[in-house]
Every structure is written in C-alpha cells, then in structure tokens.
Amino acid sequence: MNKDERIKVLQDIIQIPSENDHEGEVAQYIAELLNDYGIDSQLVEYAPGRSSLVAEIKGQEDGKVLVYSGHLDVVSAGDHEEWSHDPFGAEIVDGKMYGRGTTDMKSGLAAIVIALIELKEAQADLKGTLRLALTVGEEIGMLGSEQLVDEGYLDDADAFLIAEPSGNEAIINAHKGSIQYEVIAHGESAHSSMPEEGIDAIQLLVDYINIMNEKFDQAFNTDEAYNDQLGRSLNVNTVIEAGTQINSVASKAKMKANTRVVPEAGNDLVVKMMQDTMDELNEKSDGRLELNLLQNNPAAESRPDNDLVKAIQASADWEVGTQTLAGATDASNFGRISDDYDLAVFGPGETARAHKLDEYVEVADYLKFIDLYIETAKTYLA
C-alpha cells in the first residue's frame, strides 16, 4: 500500500462507530480488505453484531507462531458537541488524526492488518506463521480474547504482540491482573429510632471492608508476595451505594471494587479470601453478604529480554526500552495458554490520550509502526 492507502484504511475504520460493542461492521470491513489481497479470514461470532477475526499468513518453512492482536471496540465518545472534531470523522489537522479510537486502538489495529497484507504482497521469507487475532469487547470484559483462547484459536502461539497505545519509548512486557467485583450486603429495613428491629446492611458491609482490608494487607504486603517488575497487589473500593432515606435502617448496601493482582498473589487466592471472609461474617450475622465477580483476568508477565522484545528493538530505528503497565490488556487471557510465551505490548499513540475528548494519533507515528510491525515479523520469524 502507498501512504494514502494506509491512511485511508485507518480513516475508514475510525468512521465505523464500534462503541463498546457493534464490532461486527469493523470486522467485516477488515475481512473484505484481507480478501482483496488474497488472505482468508474467519469471523468468530461472540453475539449478534459482534465478531472477532482470525487470519494468518504462513512462511515456506515451519517455525514459531507470532500473533499480532488488537481490539475492535472503542469506548463511548460521549457528547459529540463537546468535541472540537467529529469523533467519527477521522479528520486530519496538522498531522494529527482526530476521532474516537484513533489512539485506543484503531491505529494499532489498522497497522497490524496492513503489516500482514504488505508481508503477503512482498512474499516475505518468513519461517513460521504470522496470525491476526482481532477481538471484541476488550474495553468491557475482554470478551473476545477469552473466547478465542477457550475455543482453541491460539493454542499454538509462541508470542503475542498487542498493538495497544504505548508511546514510542518503551515496550510493555508485563501487567497486573484485574478482578472487578461487587459485594452486596442484604439486611432488613427498620425505623432508625428502632434499629434493633432491622438488620443494618451498611454495618455488615463496613465489617466486611475492614476485615478484608486487614487480611489483604497481611497476606500481600510481604516480600513473598512482591513482584520485582510489578510491585504489590492492590485493592481499591471504588463505588458504594446504600440506603433509601435518612430515617430508615438500610436493607441493602452494595460496593464495587477493583483488585490489581501480581502473579505471586494469584487471582484464585484473592477470590478465595473474599469468599471466606463473607462466609465467616454470614455465619455470625442475620444478614447476608453476596459476592459477584464482574471481571477476573490474571496478570500477564514475560521477561523484559524475551525474543519478541529483542526483535522489536532490533527492528526499530530508534532506542526502545521496556516497562510495565498499570492497567490490563487482552494478554491476561492470552497468558492462560502457556506459562512460557513472549509478550510485547507496543503500539502507536499515547495512553494519556485514550478515552478523552479530541482523542488523536500522530499520523507519522501510525505509519512508522506499520513499518516496525513488518520488520518485527521478519526478524522474529527468521
């Protein structure tokens, strides 16, 4: 593709709204684009109107399987009137392309698709397989990556390059796991002048929070539970809803929270601690605590000097280091395939611009990453 064609692909997919769902149209566009260049693809339906996509090119010899991955969904653009540029217009001004998803992460998505196409067109001498895994529902639930892993589409993968926005200076090779959950305390309403006639759901929830905070600190604020790359596990209570009026004992209280987990702690152990704490309180209380897991994704960790990181560093014409990520990516699911895999999260755009008004990507960065992904595949699959 020439420069204008590369830019048009990104503009085309920015102009397809895929806010939190409705990814099917983007997947269909990419499937048709790949087909134009003689590349077969498979749409993997998650739900009506929502399909992930898998496609690949193979070298002349067997070798490693390198997966290039990105997600098809974007977060809501919110009130379009608050934007200076149409969030789905893909307008280019002073070298910047504006629109929802330009940074997170349709620029990375388009770049890996074009890299695959251009490698096919050039009949690149690859040893192994370059596969695309484009996923639905990453922003809320990491749904597509979970489905692709569960259904075996990635069982033979040796490495994952996720084209999430990272900036140009450092490759992300590890991030914490994420448990999003809610705790519901069920009590019984009563007049506030006679609280003994009811069961205070707020107090039951507060008891849980205090006990759980103490247990969490004792278990995970230790040298044994510390990860040299990622640090310590964290638990943050973020939302509390309770009560209906000031003179009534609350019959229900609900908390939402997020735990960020390092491998040394492990998601299963954290969830067991939550459930055990609830069981202990439920035995002593006339009320009842209930746990609902909203998202449960393990940590993703690979060596900072893994072969994929080295391939990127060798392919880049600028200096690139490594770092860890505070958030989480589809790598949480990809890492369930094997304990030994190469991971690199590296893509155009800056995380600080994601999910914001007037989101944009530097067009030059987008074009530069296409070339980088081409050279990285050649190097890793040499």
Q: 218 CB contacts (<8 Å, ≥6 apart)?
A: none
Q: Which residues are identified as catalytic?
A: 73, 138
Distances (CA, A) of 175 to 171, 299, 322: 12, 6, 12
Amino acid in the structure at residue 340: D
Residue found by looking up tokens 């004992």 in the block: 249
Q: How far is CA 351 from the centre of its chain?
A: 12
CA–CA separation, 330 vs 334, rounded Å?
Answer: 6
CA–CA separation, 87 vs 107, rounded Å?
Answer: 14
Amino acid in the structure at residue 109: L
CA–CA separation, 314 vs 273, rounded Å?
Answer: 44
Helix (H), strand (E) counts: the chain = 9, 16
Torsion of CA 46, 49, 50, 51, to 10 degrees: 80
Task: Output the CA angle 351-354-357, nearest 5 degrees.
Answer: 140
Asked if 167 and 242 count as a contact pair (C-beta separation under 8 A), the reply is: no
Amino acid in the structure at residue 352: A
- H helix runs in the chain, sequence order: 3-14, 24-36, 107-121, 143-150, 201-220, 267-284, 307-315, 331-334, 363-380
Q: Over the range 242-271, which residues count as b (16 or more CB within 10 Å of their CB) and which as e?
A: beeeeeebbbbbbbebbbbbbbbbbbeebb
Q: Over the range 54-70, which residues count as b (16 or more CB within 10 Å of their CB) and which as e?
A: bbbbebeeebbbbbbbb
Burial grade of 307 (CB within 10 A; 0-12, 13-18, 19 or more): middle
Asked if 17 and 88 count as a contact pair (C-beta separation under 8 A), the reply is: yes
